Structures are given as structure tokens and as C-alpha cells.
Amino acid sequence: MTAPAIEVRDLSKRFRVFREKPTSVKQRVLTSRARADEFWALRDVAFDVAAGSTFGLIGHNGSGKTTLLKCIAGILRPTSGRVLQRGRLAALLELGAGFHPELTGRENVYLNASFLGLSRKETDTAYDAIVDFAEIEDFMDNQVKFYSSGMLVRLGFAVAVHVDPEVLLVDEVLAVGDEAFQAKCIGRVRDFQREGRTIVLVTHALDTVREICDRAAMLHHGDLHALGHPDDVVREMRYVLLGVTDPGFVPEHGTREAEIAEVQLIRADGRGEGPVNLGEPLTIAIDVRMNEPVDDLDVDFAVLDGATNHPVLEARTSRAGTDLGRFEKKRVRFKIPVFPYAAGKYWVTIGLSDHRTGHLYHVQTQRYMFEVHEYPQVQERVEVPVEVEVEDL
């Protein structure tokens, strides 16, 4: 087995936050050091990144992802701990680093490429591919101050994806451009993977992590909160983002007096799988089994936007005035006449509880997922009345 490409050992980084940073001798003399607040951006973070693997790094804003990346890249010096890094490294922390508006696209490509570790000769070789990738061959001899911001981003990215390192650190830069361009970028990352390069990816796009990473880590307020398989780490991330403070992700919990037997997401044409078209109806059918007789059972669901993890739609039987009573098995259908939210992935959380005490019988957190596809349609309705129907089984 080859040595890991990156070894992070008990890495901590403390920033001093000056209320007013003393930047002159006078201020330095007059200001006591006590006025600096301390802030730990990273605390005892430790993990390995295996050579040739793709490692995803997630966490909410300010959790220390970028600081960690900068410590690995050697831009920041750790406060304690150490980083061992093997092989030629390129860090993409910003697109188009060093771009100057007065220079032409061509000149900026060479300047930027040298910052990413490409020699002039290597840039010569990659130049045509870079221009092809950016799709702006007609403008390469124009000064970039005349470029649109989209063109600038594409050019910056085109240079970035033609770097030739053994270890590549990518900070959030994949999230640029239109969908077609994004697909191209993901394709490029897959090429990198095939070529056996080590990639560390910082991103907010949790689905990207699940799709392309071999392992993932989640940072939470500077601590390494989760480390392992991307699916588990992403689930943990969603869990934390929902504001639940329990440590550790519990996909299912509850005392099980009542149980979720089966859940179906039924599309407009009766299918249980496949995409949901924008504006089409969606039915969430939940089969509930009662193991012990309980009163005041409440069945609820929440739909969460996969990109932001914000709940976008919620409903519960008690609020609709439906009393389920005691039963052995029942099917609850939440009928959403139109699903008007934007294209993307959505997670569904299902819960059974006592609507008087709030006691949880059974909760499945983000167990179900569906994807909304967009097709041309005039969007008129925003109000979404949800119908509830209960039948004996």
C-alpha cells in the first residue's frame, strides 16, 4: 500500500481577531494584546487522504473547510499539529488567480497557469485545450476587462482543469457556470480520478460529494464531526443542518408503538419511481402499523430542498383535523396537487408522534428522495392545499 497523499495530524488553527487591527507602530504600542479575541478555526483535526482517492470536505459556512485547505496547501501556518503532503500539489482556491483586466485572455492564461504550477512549455501544450474548454476562442486576444463575468469564470476554470498535479485541492469552484458547463467540470474531475490523482474537494453540493467522492469528512465549528463513507457523512450533515443537536446521525428512531410500514411517493401517472415533473401532483402514501394501541396519533411529513436543506413543505394529519383513532394498519395519503418548487432533489422525512405530548413513535429522517424535473410551463399557483385521506386496510 502506498503512503497517504495527505496526512493531517491534530491540526489546530487559531486566528486572532482584533477588534481594531493595530497596523501602525503607534497603535501597536498603545494597544494591549488583550484586545485580540481568539477564535479557533480548526481544533485537533486528524485524517488521511489515500493516494489516488477523492476526498469530500463538507460543513456549513465558517466551519473551517477553507482554513483546512489553506493549511494543507501551505498558505496558512498551523497553530499546532502538522500536515504531511506527498507529491506535486495544486490548490484551486480561486478561479483566475492573478488575472489582470488590462491583459488579454491569452496573457492571463499564461500568468494564471504559472500560479497553478504549469511551466510555459506545459501551458503551450495545453493552450488549445484550455481555449476549447472555455469556449471563447474568438476573444483570446481581447483584454479581459471586456469579458463578461461568465466568460472570465469559464476561462479561469479552463486553466484550472488543465493543471497537472498529483494532489489537487479544490475549494468550491466547481459550483460555477450553467448546467452544461457544470456537467463538463464533473466530467473533468472524473478524468482526474481515472488518471489516479488525489483530489480534495470542498463543496456545499452534497449530491456531488455522494456522486464522486470515495470518502468524506464533515467539519462543524472547527471540529472534525464526521469521517467516513460519503453517504453517511452527507446524511450526518443534513441532520446537523436541520438544527437537531443530537450528536450522531440517527436515520430512524422512536419508541415504535406505532410504526411506518411502508412509504410510497406516487407520481402523477401512478409510478412509484422516476422524476416528478414541475407542477405535477405528488402523493405521499404512508402505511402505518400500530403495535400497541395509542390515541392521538399524528402522521406528518416534511419535504426538504436537497440543495439548501430547508424544509419547503410540511403537513400533518392533526392539523388537517383528521383523527386516526386506534387501528391495526392504515394508509395515510398526503396529496400534493401541484409540486411547484424548482427543479432539483428533495428529501422526505416521515414522522409518527403523539400530537398532544409530542412523543415520537417513529421517525425516518430524509429516508426518501425524489427529483423534480423542469419543463416549460407557466407557473401560476403558489398556494398548495394538501388533502388528507384515510382508509382502513
Partner 1 sequence: MTATSTTVERTSESPHFRARERFRDVYAHREILANLIRKELKVKYAASVLGAVWSILNPLVYLAVFTFVAKVLGAGIPDFPVYLLSGLLAWNLFSSSLTTGTSSVLDNANLVKKVAFPREILPLSVVGVALVDFVLQSVVLFIFILATYGFRWPELALWPLAFVTLVALTVALSLWLAAVNVRYRDVGHLLNIGLVVWFWATPIVYAEYQVQSLAQGGTGAFLGIDRFLLYLLNPLTDVVAGFHRALYGVVTPEGTTTPVLFDQSLAWLAGILAITLVVSLVALRFTWAYFFARSGDFAEEL
Residues near partner 1 (CB under 8 A): 15, 23-26, 28, 70-89, 91, 93-94, 97-98, 100, 102-103, 107, 110-111, 114-115, 118-120, 143, 164, 166, 195-197
HSE of 265, CA atoms in CB hemisphere, 13 A: 20
Supply the minimum distance, in Å, between the C-beta of residue 171 and partner 1. 9
Written in H, E and C, the secondary structure of 129-150 is: HHHHHHCCHHHCCCEHHHCCHH
Give the angle subtended at the CA of 27 by the CAs of 22 and 31, to the nearest 5°. Answer: 85
Nearer to partner 1, 200 or 297 (CB): 200
Q: Looking at beta carbons only, is 86 or 333 nearer to partner 1?
A: 86
Q: How far is the CB of 313 from partner 1 (least distance, A)?
A: 40
Look at residue 295 and give its three-state secondary structure: coil
* Residue 15 vs 368, nearer CB to partner 1: 15
- What letter would DSSP give residue 369? E
Comparison of 50 and 241: residue with beta carbon closer to partner 1: 50
In 3D space, the residue among 186, 178, 136, 180 whose CA is nearest the CA of residue 156 turns out to be 136
Pick 88 or 381: Cβ nearer partner 1:
88
- Smallest distance, Å, CB 109 to partner 1? 10
Distance between CA atoms of residues 393 and 88, nearest Å:
64
For helices 120-134 and 149-160, give the axis angle rounded to 10 degrees: 130
CB of 201 to partner 1, least distance (A): 17
Residue 96 vs 279, nearer CB to partner 1: 96
For the chain, report the end-to-end CA distance as a whole number of angstroms: 57
Whole-number minimum distance, CB 176 to partner 1, in Å? 15
Burial class (CB in 10 A: 0-12, 13-18, 19+), 148: exposed
Q: Please, which residue, 84 or 183, has the CB nearer to partner 1? A: 84
Q: How far is the CB of 155 from partner 1 (least distance, A)?
A: 16
- CA–CA gap between residue 17 and residue 35 (Å, rounded): 9
How many Cα atoms are found within 13 Å in the side-chain-facing hemisphere of 193?
15
Min separation Cβ 50 and partner 1, Å:
15
